[in-house]
Structure 1
Amino acid sequence: MESLQQYRERILKYKSEMQLSQQKLKRLSLIRIACFLASGYFGYKYIFSEFEAIWWIPIAIALILFGLSLVRYQKVKEQSLVQEQLLWLNESELKALQGEDVRFEDGIEFVNDQHDFTGDLDVFGQHSLFNHINRTGTYSGKMALAANFIQPGLNVEDIVRQQEAVKELRAALDWRQNFTAQGRLSNEQAGDMPSIQQWLQMPLEFLHKKGWRIFSFVNPALLIAAIIYGSMPIILFFFALNWIALLLNIANVNKQHQLISNKEKLLKRYGLLLGLIKNLPEQTSSEVLLQLKQSAGDAGNAVNKLSRINSYMDQRLNMLVGIFLNSVFLYDLHCIYALEKWKQQYGSELEAWMNVIKDMEVLNSLSTFSYNNPAYQFPLFTADEFVIKGTAIGHPLIAAEKCIKNDFEIGQHNLFHIITGSNMSGKSTFLRSVGVNYLLAMMGAPVCAARFECKPSRIMTSMRIKDSIANNTSYFQAELLRLQKIIRVLQAGESIFIILDEILKGTNSEDKLTGSRELVQHFLAYKCIGMIATHDLELGHLEEKLPGKVSNYCFESSILDGERLVFDYKMRAGIATNKNATFLMKQMEII
């Protein structure tokens, strides 16, 4: 596979680059130390040579070299941080493709057993679909990707546009990985964006107070003049005026700074991410990518400016710097003015810029998924007939060499499939295979199938129902509540793709069969199609009662030589004939 080879080559490349960077950092550290010591030595010579001006030349050279080496050190350090992330990323991609542990976040915090389908289809949690697809670097991006899983798109035109963006971005491996690396370096936390949003919503307290603005320049100028003149009473007078001004404004300054403080690195990464989006490859033609590229515009420069202002503002936390700069220059007032001026100019656009980053994080994840699975196909859509059909459908979380694929079609000739089969024969896995690929299709991602066509609709499942002691809910009651929810959504007029696995397990066999039959017939009164996996072979007689609406399919198992149980995991028409529960119990010496 091309992607495997690419990741191996990149691992070697970034290991080599990191070694070179570390060597450069060591050399630059030595140069800085040497320059510092040299400046101290030349300063010593200057003092003990009765202040001969000639020593200022080597002192200046040493200090300039120190400054240049420091700047260079920071650039190489930044390169090293990005290289470290790129190395981690490629090692993680290689491990994932080789079937080893997936290092990417699994979205465990989004697990919700009450959701329409995410719990039943293994969307979140360890070894989940989210775990395999997620390549987001920012917290906001992760939330956006999760939202796409939780509520996929239903508009065909929007989905097709997303598909085109994913296809185009798939080939931009360097760009995609750099974007992920920069996002991961942002180290965004859950409360960062809400804090910034809260700051943006605060009124402009200082910007329009021209008197304070004039005072912030005039009084420091007068104080400096007094210092030069050397009049202590005048110095103390203007010094006192400065601190009175600061104390009158400190509550407002602290309130704003508390919300925006320590965001310099995060904002810097946001700026870099927006810059990357602005500089998408010139050959970009996807409508979605072009819109994101245009929206990014000069946003990166604006956010970088906010990062710098934030950095200046944070210097007030340094007691020595803060006291000196405030005492002389009214530093707080100048910083708060710069913040509010930025807010006035760009504040209304920041949320839209953040949405650009979040949208790109989603596309980046889906594009990487497509790149890692070149055999997967992008589905086709119909806006009219409610159908789902595919050829060679498999489960994307099962390794390719172990994945048994099946054809599937529903909606055009029949509305419900009754799928029977013995234990462990593959019924539940097949249900999830169809459900997961249908979900991926509506997200604009490729699917694990040779061909797939569908009309987008809401997915609702009932497969892993749990009782709840805390809510005083029995298993059977929990299942009825789930089925009631499905019926109410149907009654509201929505179209639904329904997936049910062994329903009504909490009651006796006869009651279960009767209830299942009536439920299927009730579903047929609404706009829905669906699949029901069951051990109740009698449910298969619905095909005779409702021809053209209900069809029987099954997964079989066979016992070879009376000793070995064999599954082929292939779906075929009809009702299952083989059973294996008693055989398995004997094999495990239970009976």
Structure 2
Amino acid sequence: MENIKSLYLKRIEKYSNLLKKQKKIINLISICRLITFLGACMFSMFIYSKSKNYYFTIISFLLWGVLFIVLATIHEKLNHNKNLVENIIEINHMGINRAEGKWKDFEDDGKEYVKEDHPFSGDLDIFGRGSLFQYINCTTTFMGRNKLKDTLENPKYNIGDILNRQEAIEELGNNIKWRQRFQGEGFIKENKDKEKRKIEGICEWCDERHDLYKKTIIKSLINLFSLCIISFIVLAFLFYGVYKYLALFSITISIIVLFYDNSNRNLLLNNVFIYKKYIQSYYKMINLIEKEKFNSFYMIQLKEKIIKSKEESASIAIKELIDITNSISDRANFFYMIFNILFLLDYRHMMNLEKWKDKWGVYLKDWLEVIGEFEALSAISILRFENPSWTMPEFEKESLYIKGKELGHPLLGEKAVKNNITIGEGHKILLITGSNMSGKSTFLRTIGINLLLSYIGAPVYSKEFKCSLMDIYTCMRISDNLEKNISSFYGELLRIRKLIEGINGGRPVFFLLDEIFKGTNSFDRHTGAKILINKLSKENSIGLVSTHDLELSNLESENYNVKNYHFEEHYKDNNIYFDYKIKKGVSTTRNALYLMRIAGIDVKEE
């Protein structure tokens, strides 16, 4: 991890130096813009004072104006590059925080995605503080964040898809330059709910149609009318007379035409202008995807969704939309009113937008989904880049099987204690016993979260890992729900029922059960657990069950599908120590009385 941290530090140093140079150039361009503006005013006044010639004065002012516009364009581009560099510096700081284990301070932890009734996400720390989502999430758009959530929450990929995703994640993991540029271009520092509403608004806008602005006759009349206005104005200047009244009459008609449907048109044009920031950001991201030459089949397929041909691609289409929105932004300009009367610009903007929607609108949602998919893959590929020693899992197709060598919990990093695990070779259920705090629950979560990583195409924290495709079900963190008036015991029953429904659905199942039926008396707990374990052992499922009930260990002699494993502790100098290593057989140690003594309770063993 130190090598990764060093690499991030080097990139911060590189881009910090670049940022200093950019700021100097931007300041220089700003000074040049000011000088150009002052020069335009002073030089034009000087020309007029000497020559008294309007034409020379106007030409001089226009030439200075062109120079000012060129400098303004350069300034805008430099500012964008500066913002991009600042974003990349921030991205590398986040990388250092991950390397130092400070990722739990990241603001976005996806806590709103926590669902108590989800088959596994709550028990495996997929969302919320200290979660997998908080660790890897580097998405910057609503689409990317939502796609990453869906991927972690519902990984319904077949083995072929997973292998293709592994290849894609491997490629992206090694391409830090492209990944960080892609992430940097997507930085829209805005509330994700607000962005979501904007995205929904853009997609709804693409589906809307306003037939008035699509009619050929309207377009012809607008062009003809504009030509008449300009002609009458020119003729009025040249010949005066009746042309003056025709010019005034045509201008009056133009104003009346602009008042027609004005409020609705203003709303539509203003909304499109509001979307401009998002559209520009998405254009940069789409452009990066189109320009990059990917090698993995999965990303090539994704890229093909945004490119039809050289002449027809998402970047070309979105650039057209940006050009239209840029012209709409001129509506805030004072001089726009004059040109709007002369050329009926509002109508032309509406006609251009309707033409764009007819040609490209149906594809926009798909393009946004491609951006989201690339962002989700980039987030997952962080695991590959920052953990080069992790392994890409293999898959068993013939039977239900899990085998891991030196398997650790990915969210614990270097602190994780690694264990070997095999399920499916001669036994389908591991019954884990052990005293309090010995590591049973963490071990169950270690297997569960690594299995999830396998199913999304990510590397796993293991030296070797092979597994089957199964639906994951857990029953671990169950507590009373006062709002729903549900006790912890009833909550357990609901989770067990969901597990049984999953098994009855016909798909293979992997389950993790931690201290099941702990909400009832010892006799019922033992009887219920025994019945459930025997049933699960006969189904198309494998899994682990942790328990304090040592009598359940007798199942190994009664049911060949059950195998006993345990964790244990040892005592030294009146202190308790755990090695968190799994061992075969039944636990023979207990620490409840010792822990009570630590709590200050004087306990005498009989």
Interval containing the TM-score (normalised by the shorter chain) = over 0.9
Q: Secondary structure at the match of 2:305?
A: helix
Percent identity between the aligned chains? 32
Q: Is residue 564 of structure 2 the alignment partner of residue 552 of structure 1? A: yes
- Specify which of 324, 335, 338 is matched with residue 309 of structure 1: 324
Distance 1:311 1:459 in 2: 50
- Specify which of 85, 96, 110 is matched with residue 107 of structure 1: 110
Higher mean displacement: 564-573 or 234-243? 234-243
Amino acid at match of 2:113: F
- Specify which of 280, 287, 291 is matched with residue 279 of structure 1: 291
| Residue number in structure 2 paired with 1:588 | 599
C-alpha contact (below 8 Å) 2:169/2:378 kept by paired residues: yes
Q: Is residue 143 of structure 2 the alignment partner of residue 131 of structure 1? A: no
Amino acid at match of 2:461: C
- Specify which of 486, 490, 493 is matched with residue 499 of structure 2: 486
| Residue number in structure 2 paired with 1:10 | 11
Higher mean displacement: 68-77 or 229-238? 229-238
CA 1:458 to 1:290, structure 2 compared with 1: closer, same or farther past 3 Å?
same
Q: Secondary structure at the match of 1:289?
A: helix
- Which whole-Å deviations, capped at 9, do the CAs of 1:490-547 have from their partners, x for residues lacking one? 1222221111111111111111111111111122232111111111111111111102
| Residue number in structure 2 paired with 1:429 | 442
Report the number of matched residues. Answer: 585
| Residue number in structure 2 paired with 1:88 | 90
- Specify which of 148, 160, 165 is matched with residue 162 of structure 1: 165
Amino acid at match of 1:86: I
Q: Secondary structure at the match of 2:539?
A: coil
Q: Secondary structure at the match of 1:17?
A: helix
Higher mean displacement: 286-295 or 24-33? 286-295
Q: Secondary structure at the match of 1:191?
A: helix
Q: Secondary structure at the match of 2:490?
A: helix
Q: Secondary structure at the match of 2:416?
A: coil
C-alpha contact (below 8 Å) 2:324/2:352 kept by paired residues: yes
List gaps (5 residues or longer) in structure 1.
none
Q: Is residue 154 of structure 2 the alignment partner of residue 151 of structure 1? A: yes
CA 1:57 to 1:191, structure 2 compared with 1: closer, same or farther past 3 Å?
closer
* CA-CA distance at 1:237 after TM superposition: 2.5
| Residue number in structure 2 paired with 1:266 | 278
C-alpha contact (below 8 Å) 1:117/1:461 kept by paired residues: yes
* CA-CA distance at 1:168 after TM superposition: 1.6
| Residue number in structure 2 paired with 1:223 | 229
| Residue number in structure 2 paired with 1:210 | 216
* CA-CA distance at 1:213 after TM superposition: 0.9
**TM-score normalised by the chain length of structure 1:** 0.95
Q: Is residue 299 of structure 2 the alignment partner of residue 289 of structure 1? A: yes
| Residue number in structure 2 paired with 1:578 | 589
C-alpha contact (below 8 Å) 1:171/1:371 kept by paired residues: yes
**TM-score normalised by the chain length of structure 2:** 0.92
Distance 2:319 2:111 in 1: 33
Distance 1:186 1:510 in 2: 56
Amino acid at match of 1:466: S
Distance 2:232 2:474 in 1: 78
RMSD of aligned residue pairs (Cα, Å):
2.0
Amino acid at match of 1:439: L
Q: Secondary structure at the match of 2:530?
A: helix
Distance 1:478 1:170 in 2: 40
Amino acid at match of 2:468: K
- Which whole-Å deviations, capped at 9, do the CAs of 1:332-366 have from their partners, x for residues lacking one? 11011111111111122222222221111111112
Q: Secondary structure at the match of 2:392?
A: coil
Amino acid at match of 2:584: A
- Specify which of 409, 412, 420 is matched with residue 407 of structure 1: 420
Distance 2:39 2:514 in 1: 78
| Residue number in structure 2 paired with 1:243 | 255
| Residue number in structure 2 paired with 1:201 | 207
* CA-CA distance at 1:246 after TM superposition: 3.0
* CA-CA distance at 1:129 after TM superposition: 0.4
C-alpha contact (below 8 Å) 1:38/1:59 kept by paired residues: no
Higher mean displacement: 321-330 or 65-74? 321-330
List gaps (5 residues or longer) in structure 2.
237-242, 308-312
* CA-CA distance at 1:234 after TM superposition: 2.2
Higher mean displacement: 216-225 or 78-87? 216-225
Q: Secondary structure at the match of 1:174?
A: helix
Distance 1:415 1:206 in 2: 68
| Residue number in structure 2 paired with 1:566 | 577
Distance 2:218 2:396 in 1: 64
* CA-CA distance at 1:104 after TM superposition: 6.1
- Which whole-Å deviations, capped at 9, do the CAs of 1:76-112 have from their partners, x for residues lacking one? 1111010000000011101110112453622122111
- Specify which of 308, 323, 340 is matched with residue 354 of structure 2: 340
* CA-CA distance at 1:386 after TM superposition: 1.1
C-alpha contact (below 8 Å) 1:165/1:287 kept by paired residues: yes
C-alpha contact (below 8 Å) 1:277/1:292 kept by paired residues: no
C-alpha contact (below 8 Å) 2:401/2:467 kept by paired residues: yes
| Residue number in structure 2 paired with 1:512 | 525
Q: Is residue 525 of structure 2 the alignment partner of residue 530 of structure 1? A: no
Distance 1:448 1:40 in 2: 67
Distance 1:586 1:114 in 2: 37
Distance 1:206 1:269 in 2: 31
C-alpha contact (below 8 Å) 2:408/2:446 kept by paired residues: yes
CA 1:78 to 1:485, structure 2 compared with 1: closer, same or farther past 3 Å?
same
